[in-house]
Structure 1
Amino acid sequence: MTFRLEARGLTCERDDRRLFQALDLDVEPGEILRVEGPNGSGKTTLLKILSGQLTDYEGELRWCGQSMRKVRTAFLANLLYLGHAPGIKAALTALENLAWYQALCGEHGDEVERLAVLEEIGLYGFEDVPVAQLSAGQQRRVALARLNLTQRPLWVLDEPFTAIDKQGVARLEQRLLAHARAGGSVILTTHHELAPLGELRRITLGRAVCNRSGE
């Protein structure tokens, strides 16, 4: 897959406070970009800008060399965004939530596939339980199951490791790494200390510095 997300001169203010300014970044296939910074530095805001949810900013976004305003539909067709909240329907079961996710993305899928994903993420036996009755970690796993179901090259993930246990953390780390090595890209925020990876880069808000892991 070939794609490129570019940001040039991004500047954003909230409540008369400048979160970041003149921020440049590039995301290409095979990369994992971790957005760092203290609470209130604008990490979630930046992710929402990069995923096309916020337009109140200065600067330019480009997708595959073209202005985001001109190719927004094509960009969204290549994007999978997971916010800080699980974003699941409490009254639906885990299995029904996955079917709902796929329908939102215009995908049909099938129940066999969805059951296999639930087993893979450690929710075998919970497929028919309303997610309101699941633990916070189990609910997070239901949301993260989208990474296994929806084939999109660019993932934008806000605190994806929240509430999951050690086994779930290891599984998610491997999933992110496999996605990058298959040619996809990940932009994420997390308080979890990721293992040093060749695919990992970091950008720290407040300093507008972007370095490769280990530099």
Structure 2
Amino acid sequence: MTPVDPHDTIALLEARGLAYARNDEPVFGPLDFSLHRGEVVLLEGDNGSGKTTLLKVLSGLLEANSGRILLNGEDLTLARLSHQVALLGHLPGLKLDLTPLENLEFSIGVFGLRSGAAPAPALSSVGLEGYEDVPVRKLSAGQKKRVALARLLLVPAALWLLDEPYANLDREGIDLVNRLLDAHARRGGAALVTSHGAYAFTSGTPRRLPLRPTA
């Protein structure tokens, strides 16, 4: 992964005293951490430690009970989320009746398009050349995950939040995720990733952020 620039003093993402509770039961926090451009950070923790919940809070799907989230040194608001933060969750978030190409075109209409990117080359780069016009419902779980990965290549968001991106992928797919993360970091992006995969990050050693259940 690309080394962090020591002169990049403003973190792409920063959490200050961030905490979340469900039905008055603490899930995580308070947390303090930062993520700089060029970094890929592995979020570690046992089941129930709040990894998925944290990503949902950082992406705006859930509201923290306390604390602040800063993006490029400014408070993160819903208005800033769609074009600056990309979430890949357990579900691929695809419209099953649309084709991969149609799904990507829909995504561009909502989230915008990164300079120099285009849907067809993105599908080709994730191994889906020839599947552009096949309804997503006819694809395998691994192929659906690849469509979701192609979507990441198109969005202009600098911050990727990836929840188990290696799930449903074979060894070739795992290597693909590593290459995409490495390229994103080299472009000046950053990623926070959860994974139980034994082959995660075979292309590099990320910084690790432990997340433990709140006592």
Q: Secondary structure at the match of 1:145?
A: helix
Structure 2 residue 166 is the aligned partner of structure 1 residue 161 = yes
- Structure 1 residues 133-191: Cα deviation after superposition (integer angstroms, max 9, x where no partner): 11110011111101222222111111111101111110110110121122110011111
Q: Which runs of 5+ in 1 are unaligned?
A: 209-215
Q: Is the 8 A contact 2:178 2:203 kept in 1?
A: no
CA positional deviation for 1:120: 1.5
Give the drift of 1:53: 2.0
Q: In the alignment, what sits opposite 2:76?
A: 68
Aligned equivalent of 1:144, options 117, 134, 149: 149
Q: 2:41 aligns with which of 33, 38, 50?
A: 33
* Residues 61-210 of structure 1 aligned to structure 2 (within 5 Å): 61-69=69-77, 72-107=78-113, 113-193=118-198, 194-195=200-201, 200-206=206-212
Which amino acid in 2 is paired with 1:195?
F
Number of residue pairs matched?
205
Q: Does 1:11 align with 2:16?
A: no
* Secondary structure of 1:116's aligned partner: helix
Give the root-mean-square deviation of aligned CA atoms: 2.5
Long gaps (5+) in structure 2: 1-7
Give the match for residue 48 of structure 1. Answer: 56
Return the offset for 1:199.
6.3
TM-score (norm 2): 0.85
Q: 1:109 to 1:9 in 2, by over 3 A?
A: closer
Please report how far the alpha carbon of residue 65 of structure 1 lies from its aligned counterpart in structure 2 after TM superposition: 2.1
In structure 2, do the counterparts of structure 1 residues 118 and 4 end up closer, same or farther at CA, with 3 Å as the change threshold? closer
